Structure formats: C-alpha cells, structure tokens
Amino acid sequence: MTEPDQSALLRPHAEQAFAEELSALDRTDDRPRPPSWRLSPWAVVTYLLGGTLNDGTVITPKYVGPRRLVEVAVATLATDRALLLLGVPGTAKTWVSEHLSAAISGSSTLLVQGTAGTAEESIRYGWNYARLLAEGPTAGALVPSPVLTAMETGTIARVEELTRIPADVQDALITILSEKTLPIPELATEVQAVKGFNVIATANDRDRGVNELSSALRRRFNTVVLPLPASEEEEVGIVTRRVEQLGHSLELPPVPAAAEEIRRVVRVFRELRSGATEDGRTKLKSPSGTLSTAEAISVITSGAALAAHFGDGTLRAADVAAGILGSVLKDPVADAVVWNEYLEAVVREREGWADFYRACREVSG
C-alpha cells in the first residue's frame, strides 16, 4: 500500500501529527532511556505536558492535568507493571494512552478495542485459515495480535475499555503480564517479550460492574485515575486548544470570538455536572449524561461549523444552543425538567447571558 499524503488524513496518529516535536525531543534528550524506549521518561513527560527545549523548540501541551499523575504513569511503564488509566468519560484516557505510546514506542497503533465481543485472538493470536488449511499450523499462518506484536518488538500495546472485555478473555492477559511469555502450543513454541514491552489499558469508571477486573488481573496493573479539570479556567483552556487543533485539521474556516461561547458552554457543563452554580449559591439537579470536557469540545466544534457555513462567521449563542441541548437531554423526560429549571433559575437571571437564554429557549421548544 502506498502512504497517503499526510495532510489528507482525517485523523493522523499522534506520532504523525507530532513527528517534529518527537524528533526534537529525541535530538536534545541526553537522559538515560529504558531499553527499547525512543525517549527518556523525562522527555516523555515533557512531550505530554509541554515545555521549551534547550534548542528553543516549543513542545505543545497535549494533556492538562497534575504533573505527578503523568510522572507516575510514565514511571510505571518503565517497570514490569502495566498501566491502567481509569476515569469518568471524556477525561482523556484514550488521548493520554495514544500519546504515551507514541512517545515511548514511536507508534500508537498496536491497539485492541475492548468490547463484549472481543475474542481471545485479539489478545493472543489467530490464524489465516486459507494458509492454515494449505500448510497446517506454521509461523506463516499465524496472525499475531497487537499484544503479541508488541511483545516481539519491545513496544507498548494499548487495550481500550478493558472492563468491557469478557472475563475469560481478560484472563489471557494475566499470563502475558506475569510471565511476559505467550505460549503457542500449536507450533510447540512460545514468544518471550522483548524489553520495552508493556500494556496501557483504559477503563471507564461508569462501566464498573460490567465486567469487573479480576483481582488477579488488577494486581498486574498500576492504576492512575485521570481527574476532571480542576477549575473552569483549566477546562476553558483545554477546550480552546482542542477546538483550535480540530478546526485546523478539519480545515474549518476560522471562527473568531469563540472565547465567550466556550466559557459559557464550559460554565453550563461544570454547573450541571457538579450540581451547584459557580458561586456555590444555588443547588442544581444534575442531568443523567456525563457532560464531559470531550462533549464540550464537540459542542463548540459543531457550533463553529454552523457559524462558518450557515452563519455570519462568528460563533454565537444560537450556534451552540442545539449542541448543548443534545448533550444535556440524554433522557428526554427527566433531563428536560432539569434543563428547564436550570434555564429559568440560573441562565435567565445571569447578566450578559440574555442572548444565550433566548437561543436556548428557542431550541428547547
């Protein structure tokens, strides 16, 4: 297959999108690197949190959050324990896991997507049946899983939504993580992991109870819990940066004056999420949905597309109102009551929010 022109890709991998930053880090990084690591742990943390290198290269922050958490995550990956990123939806678990593997292994693509239907082959290996029938079980007929490939190459494999995977399939990981070996009885052989191999798994807090991790498996992981953004300021910063990056890669026409609407969307999400107004004076009911930072990002991005293509090119309250409603009303009946109360008790009274109130009323029917 020929490589497509990178600028034509809808969503380049982290290692493609940030190739220049990664090579600048590689050039200037003189700290010790664990076996098979492309960068030192210090440089990996700098890649995630941003900074300025000695040669003046600016590394953009990918993750905004406590430095210590990122240090613990990176240090874990240099040990024999795997890393479990846990958190409520939209706290950047997948995002952080992609960037960690890009920085450590130079590739974020050895990925197992966990679902109720994930089979053992996606964690161990499968067979190319045509070749299996023709040749019998040979090395050439074996189809390695992303985990097996990571073992052979000393790189990071990612397992998304680990708790959605059925328990017996999860168990396949236990041997791999404790023995660092995968037996292949059909070939009377085994694959021993090369130094540098490790696993980053993500799991959603809200999925707890779907398939609880067995304690045997949990013991193989260090858990790092990714928090919601600590302050409105921080969350506005995250949304602003991501909206800008997304707008750029989707080639949306630039939409000015988004700052005001971003602040409002973030304020609304934070207030409904926490069940109280920003000043702490009014208690609120929370809707059933999660109202994550990720959803705020997509409300603003859709709003920007509306403004660019159907509006006057400036992001206005009317462009985000429908998106907010869609995020809040996950349960059409109960959430509508919560939303109407919030509109009338809080939004209506807030100074400078009259246009926003009108726009929301209009779409709320």
Antiparallel, parallel or unpaired: β 125-127 and 51-52: unpaired
Contact positions vs ligand ATP (CB under 6 A): 63-65, 87, 89-95, 202, 204, 229, 238, 242, 293-294, 297
Contact positions with Mg ion (CB under 5 A) in 66-125:
93-94
CB of 347 to Mg ion, least distance (A): 31
CB of 65 to ligand ATP, least distance (A): 5
CB of 93 to Mg ion, least distance (A): 5
CB of 128 to ligand ATP, least distance (A): 31
Residue type, 190: E
Residue number with CB closer to Mg ion (24 or 102): 102
Residue 241, classed as helix, strand or coil, is helix
> From Mg ion, ligand ATP, none, which one binds at residue 164 (CB under 5 to 8 Å depending on kind)?
none
CB of 9 to ligand ATP, least distance (A): 16
Antiparallel, parallel or unpaired: β 189-192 and 142-144: unpaired
Q: How far apart are CA 235 and CA 264, in angstroms?
A: 11
The DSSP result for 258-294, as a single string, is: HHHHHHHHHHHHHHHHHTB-TTS-SB-PPPSS---HH
Antiparallel, parallel or unpaired: β 198-204 and 156-160: parallel
Residue number with CB closer to ligand ATP (128 or 245): 245
Token reading at 92: 């950047």
> From Mg ion, ligand ATP, none, which one binds at residue 323 (CB under 5 to 8 Å depending on kind)?
none
Residue number with CB closer to ligand ATP (118 or 360): 118
Q: How far apart are CA 184 and CA 238, in angstroms?
A: 45
Residue number with CB closer to Mg ion (93 or 158): 93
What residues line the site for Mg ion (CB under 5 A)? 93-94
